[in-house]
Amino acid sequence: MANDPISQFQLSKLVPIEIGGMDFSFTNSSLFMVATTVVAAGFLMSTTANRGLIPTRLQSMSEMAYEFVASMLRDGAGSQGMRFFPLVFSLFMFILIANLLGMFPYFFTVTSHIIVTFALAMLVIGTVVVYGVMKHGLGFLKLFVPSGIPGVLMPLVVMIEVISFLSRPISLSVRLFANMLAGHITLKVFAGFIVAMGAQGALGFMGAALPLLMTVALTGLEFLVAFLQAYVFAVLTCMYLNDALHPSH
Amino acid sequence: MVDSLETRRQELEAKLASKRKDDEDKAGDDGGDRKGYALAVKLSSEFIAAVFVGAILGYVLDTYAGTAPWGMIIFLLLGFVAGVLNVLRSVGAVEKPKVGYSSKED
């Protein structure tokens, strides 16, 4: 593997597929997306296959994940929001497992590509818009019209609210993507320092202990970020779904 | 004997209490650092996203309506305003808008 910190994000075509002049190749990113889905589904299914009243360790892990997302959704969007539980739970598990898989050396981090996170964010916002319009009709547009604004200021305020709404998928996707990208680059740079300093004779070899310590610490931090970003994404999803359920709020 | 046990228990309790406090302080510090970092990324992404959307909207408007450069100028400024609003909203300095519409269930 090359030494520069960016090459870990390079896509490579594993199975080139071309349909109608468009590139539909199966890349290493696709492979890890499949792996993420398989791992998430396999873990949840195998741990709940022989479920007992007294859970085993693995079963209680699955139950904790369920309870965690369920209470988050209930807090964020009310009990009506529970109809979106499958969506939120799938998103949370997908992002969490993808982030954690990315922590293995030589593994590809799916969520470090903005197009992937943007697609996930658009899925959320798409659901919000479609469900909001389905349920409230044109009343959903009142989301952009705060009450108690003087008529003169109305067009300006509505424009600002619209831009603020449109910026949501972008901030949602940029946050996840930037965290994963920055974390993995930092890790790689510090790990590179160890090799570079270690090659500089005895003094450098001793000095290389510093970046080594830093790398160990950063690895721990990265595990935390992996979980935290999946959590943040799910919490914001709940918040936006709440807007779709109750645009008056 | 009972006395010494009692005093030993009290000593242990006092020690445990001070140790717990230390641990909590430490945990608080770590949590603060992590939260600060998370907050920084959150707020900057909120702000940048709005500016970005404003710029894109302005650019698209200019391209299709031929109003260059006014669409870009106005929408970029509106994007900055929306960015500030996003940031203030996410730190809770500005309340979520109270909308005049109420859903049928309420």
Contact of A132 with A247, CB cutoff 8 Å:
yes
The pLDDT value given to residue B54: 92
The pLDDT value given to residue B1: 58
Q: Report if residue B58 sits inside a domain.
A: yes
The pLDDT value given to residue A2: 54
Of A142, A174, A247, the CB nearest to B45: A174
Q: Report if residue B102 sits inside a domain.
A: no
User: Has residue A149 got a pLDDT over 70?
Assistant: yes
**Does the beta-carbon distance from A178 to B45 stay under 8 Å?**
yes
Which residues in chain B are closer than 8 Å to A175, comparing Cβ atoms?
Answer: 41-42, 45
**Does the beta-carbon distance from A248 to B103 stay under 8 Å?**
yes
Of A147, A179, A228, the CB nearest to B100: A147
Which residue bears the tokens 């389905």?
A134
User: Has residue B79 got a pLDDT over 50?
Assistant: yes
User: Has residue B35 got a pLDDT over 60?
Assistant: yes
Is the dihedral angle over the CA atoms A53, A59, A60, A64 positive or is it negative?
negative
Q: What is the pLDDT of residues A11-26, one digit of tens each?
A: 888 888 888 888 888 8
Residue A48 CB neighbours (<10 A) = 14
Which residues in chain A are closer than 8 Å to B49, comparing Cβ atoms?
Answer: 167-168, 170-171, 174
| Lookup: tokens for A39 | 């791992």
Of B53, B78, B99, the CB nearest to A170: B53
**Does the beta-carbon distance from A139 to B50 stay under 8 Å?**
no
**What is the pTM assigned to this prediction?**
0.79
**Cα B29 from Cα B35, distance rounded (Å):** 10
Residue A242 CB neighbours (<10 A) = 20
* DSSP calls for A173-233: HHHHHHHHHHHHHHHHHHHHHHHHHHTSHHHHHHHTHHHHHHHHHHHHHHHHHHHHHHHHH
Smallest CA–CA distance, residue B15 to chain A, in Å, is 30
**Helical (H) or strand (E) element with A135:** helix A114-136
Q: For chain A, positions 97-156, list CB contacts with chain B under 8 A.
A: 135-136, 139, 142-143, 145-148, 156
Smallest CA–CA distance, residue A112 to chain B, in Å, is 15
Q: Report if residue B78 sits inside a domain.
A: yes
Which carries the bigger pLDDT value, residue A59 or residue B26? A59
Q: Report if residue B53 sits inside a domain.
A: yes
**Does the beta-carbon distance from A163 to B75 stay under 8 Å?**
yes
Q: What is the pLDDT of residues A215-238, one digit of tens each?
A: 999 999 999 989 989 998 998 899
The pLDDT value given to residue B101: 41
- In the predicted model, what is the mean pLDDT of residues A169-175? 89
Domain limits for position B47:
34-91
The pLDDT value given to residue A155: 87
Which carries the bigger pLDDT value, residue B93 or residue A211? A211
CB of A232 within 8 Å of any CB in chain B? yes
Q: Report if residue B69 sits inside a domain.
A: yes
The pLDDT value given to residue B27: 52
Smallest CA–CA distance, residue B18 to chain A, in Å, is 27
User: Has residue A44 got a pLDDT over 50?
Assistant: yes
The pLDDT value given to residue B20: 76
**Cα A43 from Cα A65, distance rounded (Å):** 11
Q: Report if residue B51 sits inside a domain.
A: yes
A117-128 burial, b for 16+ CB within 10 Å, e for fewer?
bbebbeebbebb
CB of A224 within 8 Å of any CB in chain B? yes
User: What crossing angle do the helices spanning A28-49 and A85-101 adopt, rounded to 10°?
Assistant: 120
**Helical (H) or strand (E) element with B88:** helix B70-90
In chain B, what percentage of residues exceed pLDDT 70? 71
* Residue A141 banded pLDDT, cuts 50, 70, 90: confident
In chain A, what percentage of residues exceed pLDDT 90? 35
The pLDDT value given to residue A216: 92
Which carries the bigger pLDDT value, residue B57 or residue B103? B57
**Does the beta-carbon distance from A171 to B45 stay under 8 Å?**
yes
Of B41, B82, B100, the CB nearest to A167: B82
The pLDDT value given to residue B102: 38
**Does the beta-carbon distance from A163 to B57 stay under 8 Å?**
yes
Which residue bears the tokens 């004997």?
B1
The pLDDT value given to residue B75: 92
Q: What is the pLDDT of residues B50-75, one digit of tens each?
A: 999 999 999 999 999 888 788 899 99
- In the predicted model, what is the mean pLDDT of residues A134-149? 82
The pLDDT value given to residue B103: 38
Exposed, middle or buried: residue A91 (CB in 10 Å: 0-12, 13-18, 19+)?
A: buried
Smallest CA–CA distance, residue A157 to chain B, in Å, is 9
Question: Which of B39, B45, B85, B91 should we substitute to test contact with A (largest number of A Cβ atoms within 10 Å)?
Answer: B45
The pLDDT value given to residue B97: 54
Q: Report if residue B72 sits inside a domain.
A: yes
Q: Based on the structure, what is the number of domains in chain B?
A: 1
Q: Report if residue B22 sits inside a domain.
A: no
Smallest CA–CA distance, residue B62 to chain A, in Å, is 16
